Amino acid sequence: MGLQLNWNRRGFLGTAAAVAASIFGPGKLWAGAAKVNGTAAVTGFGQTGNVYDELGVPTVINCEGTMTMLGGSILRPELEAVMAMAGRHFVSIPALEVAAGKRISEMLKLPDGYSALVTSGAAAAIQSGLAGILTGDNESFIRQIPDLTGMKSEVIIQKSHRNPFDHQLRNTGIKLVEVETRDQVRQAVSDRTAMMHFSNFANATGQIKVDEWIKLGKQYNIPCMNDAAADTPPVSHLWDYANMGYDLITFSGGKAMRGPQCAGLLIGRKDLVGYALLNNSPNEDTIGRSQKVGKEEIIGMVKALELYLKEDHDALTREWQARLERISGELTKIPGVSTSFFTPDIANHVPHMQISWDSRVPLESKQVSQMLRNSKPSIVIGGGEGRPGLTMCSFMLQPGEDKIVAEQLSRVLREHSA
Ligand SMILES: *Cc1c(COP(=O)(O)O)cnc(C)c1O
C-alpha cells in the first residue's frame, strides 16, 4: 500500500514536472514559475493581473498613507524579486536573524553594542522587546510569561502616550503605570519597574520629551523603549534614538520603508535584542511564537532597508509635493475650492494637502469621502477628523493615480456645486 502510494506520488510528480517543463523549459521548473518570462504569464485567479479583483475584493487608490488596514505599502519590484529568491531555500531561521541583525547594524551604523532583530512588525517588536527585558535568558521565565511571578511587573508611560499598541506591552502581563510629571516618574519608579515606554508620535503632547525621557531612564537605571513605528522619514530616525541612548527602538517595515507588510525592526542593545529573539518565533513555548516572521520577510526587510537608505529622499519629497500640486491645480479651478499644504512634524512626515470648499459646494467632507470610496476605481481619502474638508497625502499613490484622483474629485465637487 505504502509502495503503491509512493509510486503514484512519484508518477504524479513526474507528470507535473513534464507539463511544467513544456511550459517553462527544462531545468526551469521553480525558477521559471516565479518569473514572468514572456512565454507563459503567471496567473492569479484569472487573467486580469489583479488577484484581489479576481477574488472579489476591489482594490483602492490610497490617499491616506501607510495604513495597515489598506495593506501597508507597495513593494518595489526589485524587492519582490529578492523575496522570491528567499523563498527557494531552507535555512536556519535563528542564524538568519543573527546575520540580518548584523547587516542592519552595519547599514545603520548603530552605536557599539547595538544590534537589530527583524520581527513581524513594530507591534511584535514592542512585545518581544519588553518580554526580553522581563525574562532575560531565563528559560523558565520565558515559558512562564505572562505569569510574571519572580519578574519585574510594571512599565511607566506618560498618560498622553497611551495608545492601542500598548496592548502589546500589556500582553506580557505587566501593569502600565501612568505618569504626567517628572515628579510622578520619580514616585512611580520602584523595584517592580521593568521599563519606561515612549510613544514617539506623542512627543508633542507629553510634558516629558523624547530626549529627557531617556535621561530619566538613565538616572533611574531603567531601560527605555521608543516606539517610532511610523516615524521615518526622516531616515535619520533609524539611528537618532539609538544615538540618544534608547535601549530599544521599534519601526514598522511595511510603512514608509516599503518593506514586507509583515515585517518590522527591533533596534537596541545587543543583550536585549538577543533576549527578544529568545522570546520570539521560531522558538516554541514563547509569547512571541504567534508573531512568526518568515525567511522571505527577514530577507525582504534587510533588502528594503538597503534600498530605502539608497534613495534620494529630497527628490522623493519633491515628487510627492508635485503630485499634490497637480491635483490642486485641477481642484482650484472649481469656484469655492481651495487647497493648502502642510507636513506633520512627526509620523507620516511627508507632504500633505488640505482640500477645503465654501458654501458654493454644499457637501460635508464625509459625503465626498464616501462618494470617492464608492467610485470606480475606489479612492480612499480622509474626511473630517477635526479639520474641515479633506486631507490627503500622495506618497502611496502609484504612477498615474494622481491624475485619476484629480479627475474623480473634480467631478464630484463640480457635480454638486451650486
Ligand atoms: C503602525 C504602528 C505600530 C504597529 O506597527 P506594525 O508594523 O503594523 O506592527 C505601532 N505603533 C505605532 C505608533 C504605529 O503607527
Type of residue at 105: S
Segment 153-165 shows an average pLDDT of 98
Q: What gap in Å lies between CA 156 and CA 181, rounded to an integer? A: 12
Question: 230 in ligand 1 pocket by Cβ < 6 Å?
Answer: yes
Backbone φ and ψ for 314, nearest 5 degrees, come out as -70, -40
Q: Calculate mean pLDDT across residues 191-217.
A: 98
Distance of CA 250 from the midpoint of ligand 1 (Å): 9
DSSP 8-class letter at 111 = P
Tell me the average pLDDT across 78-105.
Answer: 98
Our answer on whether the CB atom of 256 is closer than 6 Å to any ligand 1 atom is no
Q: Which of the listed residues 227, 280, 348 should we mutate to test ligand 1's pocket, taking the one with most ligand atoms within 8 A of CB? A: 227
* First and final C-alpha spacing in the chain: 79
The verdict on the CB of residue 264 being under 6 Å from ligand 1 is yes
The answer to whether residue 13 scores a pLDDT higher than 50 is no
Name beta bridge partners: 48: none
Is the separation of the CB atoms in 337 and 356 below 8 Å?
yes
Rounded to an integer, the average pLDDT of 389-403 is 96
- For residue 297, the CA-to-ligand 1 centroid distance in Å is 16
Contact between 270 and 140 (Cβ < 8 Å): no
The domains found in the chain, sorted by start residue, are 81-310 (3.40.640.10), 313-415 (3.90.1150.180)
Kindly tell me the number of DSSP H helices and DSSP E strands found in the chain: 16, 13
Residue 228 grid cell: 517610532
Q: What is the DSSP letter of 288?
A: B
Residue 227 near ligand 1, beta carbon < 6 Å:
yes
The ligand 1 atom at the shortest distance from the C-alpha of residue 123 is: 9
* Residue 343 pLDDT greater than 60, yes or no: yes
201 Cβ closer than 6 Å to some ligand 1 atom: yes
pLDDT of 32 higher than 80: no
pLDDT of residue 30: 37
- The number of the ligand 1 atom at minimal distance from the alpha carbon of 252 is 7
Give me the helices (H) in 189-339, please. Answer: 210-220, 237-244, 270-278, 295-310, 313-331
Q: What are phi and psi of 32, to 5 degrees?
A: -65, -35
Return the pLDDT at 3: 34
Dump strand ranges (E) for 120-211: 154-158, 175-179, 193-199
Which atom of ligand 1 sits closest to the CA of residue 72? Answer: 8
CB distance 66 to ligand 1 below 6 Å: no
229 touches ligand 1 (CB under 6 Å): yes
Longest dimension (CA), the chain: 80
Q: Which atom of ligand 1 is nearest to the CA of 264?
A: 7
CA of 248 to the centre of ligand 1 (A): 15
In this structure, which residue's CA is closest to atom 11 in ligand 1? 229
- Looking at residue 346, its pLDDT comes to 86
Selection from 147, 159, 151 nearest residue 191 by Cα: 151
Asked if residue 31 has pLDDT above 70, the reply is no
Write down the pLDDT at residue 418: 77
Strand, helix or coil at 279? coil
Decide: 251 in ligand 1 pocket, CB within 6 A.
no
| Mean pLDDT score across all residues of the chain | 91
pLDDT in tens, 253-305: 999 999 999 999 999 999 999 999 999 999 999 999 999 999 999 999 999 99
Residues facing residue 226 across a β-bridge = 198, 249
Looking at residue 16, its pLDDT comes to: 40
Query: Tens digits of per-residue pLDDT, 42-70?
Result: 789 998 999 999 999 999 999 999 999 99
For the beta carbon of residue 383, count every other beta carbon within 10 angstroms: 20
For atom 8 of ligand 1, which residue has the closest CA? 121
For ligand 1, whether the C-beta of 288 sits within 6 Å is no
- The pair phi, psi for residue 73, each rounded to 5°, is -145, 180
Nearest atom of ligand 1 to the alpha carbon of 230: 15
The three grid cell numbers given for residue 37, joined into one nine-digit string: 518570462
Residue-wise pLDDT for 112-156, tens only, equals 999 999 999 999 999 999 999 999 999 999 999 999 999 999 999
Residue of higher predicted confidence among 189 and 25: 189
Pocket test for ligand 1, best of 68, 226, 257 (most atoms within 8 A of CB): 68
**Cell digits for 60?**
483602492
Would you say the CB of residue 122 lies under 6 angstroms from ligand 1?
A: yes
Q: Give the type of residue at 268.
A: G
**Spatial distance between the Cα atoms of 122 and 66, rounded to a whole number of angstroms:** 13
Percent of the chain's residues with pLDDT above 70? 89
Instruction: Supply the residue whose CA is at minimum distance from atom 14 of ligand 1.
Output: 229
